[in-house]
Amino acid sequence: MRVVLLGPPGVGKGTQGRRLATDMKLALISTGEMLRDAISRNTPLGLEARGLIDSGLLVSDDVMIGLVQGRTLEQDAQAGFVLDGFPRTVPQATALDRLLAAQSRPLNAVVLLDAPTTELVTRVSARRECPVCKRAYNMVSAPPRDGKHCDDHPTVALIQRADDAEGTVRKRLDIYQAQTAPLVGHYREQGRLIEVSGLGDMNDVYAALKLALEEPGVAR
């Protein structure tokens, strides 16, 4: 199965995408994580992306399309994948359709996770992650056991992403509205959009997501 998770920053794409990928034995393709990994390794891509990400701006379509094209061809993605954070613009969506058509394996589903802006800002400000396993925490609703370290890596302190600072989050939300929200109409017009509320308990959101993907018509 090949699924796109669409939605604003902080809605839970990362958390839900990771769980879905593990559960359904799919590769998780998170473009944000790929870029953060490139930054931490100081690769040419990382050097190009760092300033853009830290100021909440998007990396160019050409770079992102090349990155995702290569990643979808890797061995672990052959059985299917969950895309988190891509496509983020209409040209990326068009390119994705084209590159998957060339591989004769089109998308099965595009899921929109959504929540009101005030909720997103609150959530992102409270968001922390483990720098080792990338597990996400919310310091208010889902804190780690000791309040500071990853439950799975008890010596590793949780960190806040630089682009989760409040001013940058608002900028990312504006960019989402301007550049990514048009994809909602794009996929809806094609009859390919499945909408799932990102509000509430994360286990309930996951259950709704799984149910939506089990609908007849969402081919495996």
The answer to the question of residue 29 lying near ligand AMP (CB under 6 A) is: no
Looking at beta carbons, which residue is closest to ligand AMP? 32
For the chain, state the CA radius of gyration.
Answer: 17
CA–CA dist 39, 212 (Å, integer):
35
Q: Which residues, including other chains, have CB under 8 Å from residue 140's CB and lie 6 or more apart?
A: 122, 126
In angstroms, give the least distance from the CB of 217 to ligand AMP. 26
Question: Binding string, 137-176, against ligand AMP, x = CB under 6 A?
Answer: --------------------------x--------x----
> CB–CB of 86/92 below 8 Å?
yes
> CB–CB of 1/24 below 8 Å?
yes
Question: Binding string, 53-92, against ligand AMP, x = CB under 6 A?
Answer: x--xxxx----x--------------------xx-x---x
For residue 215, the surrounding DSSP H or E stretch is none
Provide the binding-site residues for ligand AMP, judged by CB under 6 A. Answer: 9, 31-32, 35, 52-53, 56-59, 64, 85-86, 88, 92, 163, 172
